[in-house]
Amino acid sequence: MAIDYDKLINWKFDDVEQTYTTKDSILYALGVGLSMDPLDLQQLRFTYEEDMLALPTMAVVLAYPGFFLKNPEFGVDWVKVLHGEQGIKLHKPLPAEGTVIGKTKITEIIDKGAGKGALIYTTREVFEKSSGDLLATLDSTTFARGDGGFGGPTEGAPQPHSLPDRAPDSSVELPTLLQQALIYRLSGDFNPLHADPRIATSAGFKAPILHGLASLGVAGHAVLREACNYDPSKLKEFNLRFTSPVYPGETLVTELWNDGDVTSFRCRVKERDLVVLNNGYAKIG
């Protein structure tokens, strides 16, 4: 079954209203690996409810419309879907609790050709309900590995951010937990690829993989630590490309380049010496 381009590009998403509490913000922070050292007071500000802060990358789980590509009407081979790229623009710091409204739309679907997959581009705006303020704009690229050759547009994919041609200025090594995908999924992404070994092996993986957005959260932690001194209000934009899956329990090494208000970065898995997040761009203000 091929992607139904017209149905997918014209799909009207219902607005999603979500009320979240400090407990949800803490769960997200734990799901991306904060407070593995529970005595680190800077990290504790995100995992303890007293005067707590929200991680800026938590925007990716707010007012999420769910795993909509599993809808059989779209013709997507959902088992083979992977997260390709993610961009975050933060218009104001996220509150640690509140009610938000998410408005999602599909902006384009690029056909890479038979056997090469498809790219599905989605934008979600997250508004604070009480004030009406726009909190974050989220641009996501989904790589549908099994769905190329459906006859859609073949051009229009944006170019990724280029990393500086020099040695990194610093690096941050952060471990992940063996059970981290099972914790992270409680923030709203229940794709069984990240929990069920049977689904994972049928999709070609040796075990359930870590959510791409969970590894993004680890990279976000590294940038927050190195470039923002754990001040979430300083992170204005955060974009990256997912290049290879991460398995829970692996160690992520984030390499960073600092150029004024721009921090470039990439992440590699220490155990396999493999780049898993690339072309990272963070705007610091």
CATH number at residue 115: 3.10.129.10
Q: Give pLDDT, residue 153.
A: 86
Structure tokens belonging to residue 200: 């994972």
d(CA 255, CA 271): 15
Residues 232-255: tens digit of each pLDDT = 999 999 999 999 999 999 999 999
Quote the number of domains for the chain.
Answer: 1
Query: Using CA atoms, how far apart are residues 193 and 203, in angstroms rounded to an integer?
Result: 8
What is the Cα gyration radius of the chain?
A: 18
Neighbours of 209 (CB within 10 A): 21
Average pLDDT, the chain: 95
Residue 235 tokens read as 């992170």
pLDDT tops 90 at residue 82: no
pLDDT at residue 66, as a whole number: 84
The whole-angstrom distance between residue 69's C-alpha and the CA centroid of its chain comes to: 16
What tokens were used for 196? 């069920």
Q: Which domain holds residue 272?
A: 5-284
pLDDT for res 186: 96
pLDDT, mean of residues 88-95: 98
Q: What pLDDT is stored for residue 120 in this prediction?
A: 94
Distances (CA, A) of 217 to 53, 88, 130, 207, 249: 15, 12, 27, 21, 15
Burial of 149 (0-12, 13-18, 19+ CB in 10 A): middle
Catalytic residue numbers, as ranges: 189, 194, 209, 212
279: pLDDT strictly greater than 90: yes
- Of the pLDDT bands very low, low, confident and very high (cuts 50, 70, 90), residue 1 is low
Could you read off the pLDDT of 103-152 as tens digits, one per residue?
999 999 999 988 889 999 999 999 999 999 999 999 999 999 889 888 88
What's the rounded Cα separation, in Å, for the pair 148 and 143?
A: 10
